[in-house]
Structure formats: structure tokens, C-alpha cells
Amino acid sequence: MKKSPKLSQKFFLPALAGASLFIFVLFSLSGCSFLTEAKSYDPPPFEKIHVKPWRIINRCKPGHYGGTLSLADFGTGPQTFNPITADDATSAEMATMLFSALLDYNYKTNQIVPGLAYKWTHSKNKLIWTFYLRKGLRWSNGTSITAQDVVFSYHVMEDPNVPNLDSSYLFLNGKPIQVKAVNPTAVRFILPSPDSAFLFGVAGSMPIVSKKSLEKAYKDHEFEAAYGVSTPPDKIVVSGAYEIQEYDPQQRIILTRNPYFYAKDIKRQRLPYLNHIVITYVRDYNTWFLKFISGDIDAFPVFPPKFYNDLKAGEKRGNYRLENLGPGGDQSIIIFNENPHSKFLNKVKYRWFTNKLFRQGIAYSIDRQTMIKLCYNGFGYDDIEDFSPGSLWYDPNVPVYHHDPQKAKKLFREAGFHWKHGKMYDQYGNRVEFSLLTNSGNNIRLEKGELIQSDLAKMGIKVHFHSIDFNTLITKLDNNFDYEAILLGWIGSGDIEPSENDDFWLSNAEDHQWYPLQKKPATPWEAEIDKLAMEGISTYNFKKRKKIYDKLEQILYTEEPQILLPVKDEIFAFSNKVGNADPTVIGEYLTYNTTDDMLMDQAYMKHRAEKTAVSTIPVSHHTKSITAPARRNHPGSVVQNSGANQIRQTHTMKKENK
């Protein structure tokens, strides 16, 4: 789990599968009234191209052509179709469906796989990397994709005048990565220092755009406005499996098959299979659920998990299936303010918060099993650490803070606290109380805060729990440090590449939340974390890296700078009418990634699937209205660049206002 002030993630692994933090699927074999569907399942009219070698995608069984896949997403739709400048989650997620990167990622095998590049080589010291593009690649307008497009894309991303959250990937120790074209189908990267995350973070997460289409806008200093929502769809040149057919802001977007897409299935059939993808923008889970049980929507994210009982009761007769993928990467944490420069934190509470025994005592005071039962309807997991159980980097040997009031009291006593008439005091006679803030509009997080307040009250600690506007909360956390403790959610990609967490771990990072931008490590343990994080980024051997991050995790457990709360199980309901719905708990954002679960480039509609009415599923009191989450910068949020300059600081995480 990586923590960062960013509220969305521009992330291009996988570039083909497509992704959305909150896109969930509904499938319509007959199509929508505003689309003209093909009458047969014959191969559609692809443009004739000679790709050498073709990309063969073998993650799923072969399907057949035709049909419309309709999706739902929270909010009002993309704010831009420019994959480089997108700084809101919806826009960045849409970009992954439209644009490809040099490499891709297979979440089933946890392997980096070829994308636009079919192979790559490196020098002995791994500072020089050469990527070889497939020959015959075409943009959606039929023009050639060449090494010049790759060089242009990375040049734009390195330009400080072009807003781009991922630009830090291209700098190591403050020095830029050099990108040069070797020939029309080969491009070379020269690194200033070793970077074990290079393939994942640079070659896999950076979108390639058309130089011919965008160079004029760049030279005219209008690149940020290029590929805006008012741009005619045929002027938005893409390389992914789909291109834009129509966009109606706040309503829906219609994608159609890219006839120049460069992939085939294992039977050498051209991809994708679907004629169209339709994404409709909605505002609450309740609407999704009611439509799902009536048969109008064919997939549903079972969140909150309280919907699970109703869905399970009707699973056999409802022509759908439920899958519990287990604990995901979505995380809620408590952060105490340990910043000595905060003008709003008094010395008494600063002394408490910087005492690891106090933080450990708080961790043992929280009843996580009750939280799972009440907040997640029993579908949750509390053996938690920075890496989720589905990650290769997860260490089962890292201890966890299970509810243990007696152990908590022992730790508090060791730290100098005592009790009088059931109230807890420090050694100087100060009553232990503090404020805990979270964002408003999030019912489950509010429930968590109330449970924490109750658990700590049993320990004699008075917690003043308040919810405030999300943007105000982020300002307090990141800008003026006007808080004592904050409860917030985080999601990210550290489960795949642990160095994604560096912007949280490194003491001089802006996202080192409890005390950011330290000129030098404030504590010996933070200095050790810095050392291990830098060793991790410069070490290529997996076993050696694993030992480094295991040690780092042990330090985080002991010092407990963040108090981890339970994660919920990832549960999805899928229509039986769709083929190749193959869920994985480790997805593009490690959670909620239904579009990757559906393998967008290989999803297909089954031939004679009949729509089975599911309106007989009982609707319980759980179907009360649920407020939809705000998205990053949507309807408004803070996006900042990291001030840290050690190794590489990442910009691919987001705070979760959900």
C-alpha cells in the first residue's frame, strides 16, 4: 500500500486491459438503442495490417465477435482524453483503454509482458535498455507508430511546463533518463543510476502518443488543451483496443473497436471481440444494485458488502455468479501528526504522538473484528501490513496488532500514562484526548471512526471525532498540518512494485505524512527506512529485494507510524452472459478493477445467453441510498508534486474519498 496526496492514478499497466477504479460492468447482448449492432458474429471489418510479431494474448479462451459491453462509472466522465496531462482518476482510467505503453502486466502471473515493444535488452550494468517495437504498428488513423513517437512522448513527459503526475519516474537522483531513437522501430533508454522498478514504472506506466498528431500543439504551448473533451473523436488518435465514437459529458461515452489494434488470441483471431463498449456515468451504488436485480445491469461491485446476502440468495436463479476474491489493497489508516513545525499542535500531544509506545497502545486498543462485522458485514481481513496478502511482497511473518486491551494498557503504562477514575492521564497530569478527523459523506468510514472513538473511550481516552469536507481535510494533512489525527483511505500499486511506496517511506518525501519533507531523518528508524528503500530500488535480484522489504516492514510494524485498519474482501457479481470474466484481486489499482477482471481486450458476449429475470431476489433494508464517492479532482481535490529527490519519487497513488 502506498500513501500519497494524489487522488488518482495515471497508470498504464496494463495498457490493453483497460482500467477503472470504479468502472463496473453491465453487458447487453442486444446492444443499446443508440447503437447499430452487427447482425452476426462473423469477424468484424479490421483494417489489413502486417504486424511482426503480432501480440498473442493467451490469458483467456478464444471468444467470438459482436455485442456491446456496457459499463458504469461514478462521476460525470473524463475531463480530458490527453493521457499525459490527465490528473483526475476518470480521465486517467479512460486513457488506459485508449492508449498502449511499451510493456504490459499480467496480474495472474505477476509478470511484465510485451506491449508495443515485443522484446527488450539491457547492458550488463542495466543502465542502458533498448526496446524493439513490433513492425507494422498503426495508430487508429492508420499512420505508423514509430520510435519517434516514443521519444516525443517521453520528451513531453519530462517537460516541467507540461503537467504530468508521472514525470518523477523519468528522474533518478535528480537526473533525467535519456531517451533516444536507434532506428524507426528501436528506442534506447539511458539511466543515470540503477532502477529495479524501471520496467514497471517507466516502460510500463507511460502512455505513448502520436507525435504527428500532437507535435504542433506542443510547440504552440497548447499541449495541455490537446485531446480535450470537445475534440472531435476522429481527431483523437489512439493505439489501444478501442477508440472514441461518441462522448456526452455527464451521461455516457461510447467506444468502438480500433480496427488497427495489434493483438490476436491464441487461435490467431484479431482482437478485440466486442463491437462497442458503453460507459454510463452514475452517482450511487443503490441505483446499480436495483438495476442489477431487475436484470438491466449484468455486473455489480458488491460494495458495501451488505448487499452480499441479497445477491447470494438469488445467485442460482439469477443468471449471474458471485466471486469473493479475498482481501484487496484498499486500506484505511490513522495518522498522528508528528510534525514539530506544525503551528496547531501543542507540545503535550506532540510528545504523545511521537512516542511509539503510545502509538502501539492505540493499535492494540482497536477492535478490528467488530469493525469487520459491523462495517463489512463480516467480509474483511485484519492480518494487515503495507502489502496486501495477494502481493508477492507480502510477509506472513510480520506481526499484526490484534485487539488486546491488556497489552495496550501495559504499553501505555510503560510510556508513563496512568488512570484515575477511568480516565487516562500522562505523567504530567494531562488528560489524554485528541481530535480525529475524516472526510464527510463516507458512511462506512464514519462508522469506523465511531467504533474507534468507542474503543478508545474504554481505555479512558477521549476522542473528538469529526467529519469535514474532503478537500479541507487534504489541505490540513498536506499543507498547513492543522490536525491531531486523521482517518483516511489509501489505494495504490505498491503491491506490484514496492518502490511505489518510496514517496511515503522516504523521510524527505512530501508524502511522508506524519512528518513530511524532513531535511534529515528525524529518528534513527526513519534513517534506516531511507537506507533500505534506496537499497530496494538499486537491487535487481528478487530474493534479495524481498529480504530488504521484509526488514523494512518489520521496522514499520515496530514503530507503527500509521495504524492500519481492516481491509474488506473484494466481491463482484458477474453476468453469466459475458465470456472471459476472470477476476484477480491484484488489479491495476489493486482493488475494484472490474475492467481488468473482465480482460477488456478479450471480453466477449456469449452467443445464445438468455437474460434470466432476477427481480425475484428479495430486496432488503440494505438497499437504502448510498452517496457516491467524490473522485480525485472530481468534483475537486488537491494534486501535488513530490518535493523528495532521493532515487525516484512516485506520483501514482491516491487518497481515497470513498
pLDDT in tens, 177-213: 999 999 999 999 999 999 998 998 788 878 999 999 9
Q: Which of 549, 522, 554, 525 is nearest to 537 (CA)?
A: 549
CB 569, CB 376: distance < 8 Å: yes
* CB proximity list for 512: less than 8 A, separation 6 or greater: 503, 504, 505, 506, 518, 644
Count, in order, helices (H) and strands (E) of the chain: 16, 29
CB 39, CB 540: distance < 8 Å: no
Cell 483471431 locates to 269
- What is the structure's pLDDT at 351? 97
- What is the structure's pLDDT at 42? 59
592 has pLDDT over 80:
no
Phi and psi at 381, nearest 5°, equal: -150, 130
Q: Which of 514, 518, 521 is nearest to 355 (CA)?
A: 514
Average pLDDT over residues 145-163: 95
CB 503, CB 327: distance < 8 Å: no
- What is the structure's pLDDT at 287? 77
Angstrom distance (rounded) from CA 7 to CA 20: 13
Phi and psi at 538, nearest 5°, equal: -100, 5
Angstrom distance (rounded) from CA 247 to CA 129: 39
Quickly state the pLDDT bin for 125 (edges 50, 70, 90): very high
Quickly state the pLDDT bin for 305 (edges 50, 70, 90): low
Global confidence as pTM: 0.75
Q: 384-411, pLDDT tens digit by residue?
A: 777 877 788 888 888 889 999 999 999 9
Burial of 45: CB neighbours in 10 Å, binned 0-12, 13-18, 19+: exposed
432 has pLDDT over 80:
yes
Quickly state the pLDDT bin for 598 (edges 50, 70, 90): very low
Angstrom distance (rounded) from CA 509 to CA 643: 6
2 has pLDDT over 70:
no
Q: 614-646, pLDDT tens digit by residue?
A: 333 333 333 333 232 332 232 222 222 232 333
Domain ranges of the chain: 24-319+576-622+646-652, 331-567
Phi and psi at 233, nearest 5°, equal: -55, -35
C-alpha grid cell for residue 402? 490484534
What are the DSSP E strand ranges found in 559-648?
562-564, 567-575, 578-579, 604-605
Buried b (16+ CB within 10 A) or exposed e, 519-544: eebbbebbeebbebbbbbbbbeeeee
C-alpha grid cell for residue 578? 459475458
- The per-residue pLDDT of the chain, averaged, comes to 81
CB 372, CB 380: distance < 8 Å: yes
Q: 611-621, pLDDT tens digit by residue?
A: 433 333 333 33
More confident residue, 505 or 613: 505
Percent of residues, the chain, with pLDDT higher than 90: 48
217-226, 305-314, 601-610, 623-632: least confidently modelled range: 623-632
C-alpha grid cell for residue 67? 455485442
218 has pLDDT over 70:
yes
Cell 477488456 locates to 600
Q: Which of 146, 129, 153 is nearest to 12 (CA)?
A: 153
527 has pLDDT over 90:
yes
CB 544, CB 538: distance < 8 Å: no
* CB proximity list for 216: less than 8 A, separation 6 or greater: none
Q: Which of 32, 5, 26, 74 is nearest to 630 (CA)?
A: 74
**For residue 635, is the peptide bond before it cis, meaning its omega torsion is within 30 degrees of 0?**
yes
- What is the structure's pLDDT at 491? 60
For the domain bounded by 24-319+576-622+646-652, which CATH number is listed? 3.40.190.10
Measure the N-to-C terminal CA separation of the chain; round to a whole number of Å.
16
- What is the structure's pLDDT at 403? 96
Can you give the length of the chain in residues? 658
- What is the structure's pLDDT at 43? 67
- What is the structure's pLDDT at 594? 36
CB 210, CB 143: distance < 8 Å: yes
Angstrom distance (rounded) from CA 296 to CA 517: 50
Q: 234-257, pLDDT tens digit by residue?
A: 999 999 999 999 999 988 999 999
Neighbours of 262 (CB within 10 A): 25
Q: Domain 331-567, what architecture?
A: Roll (3.10)
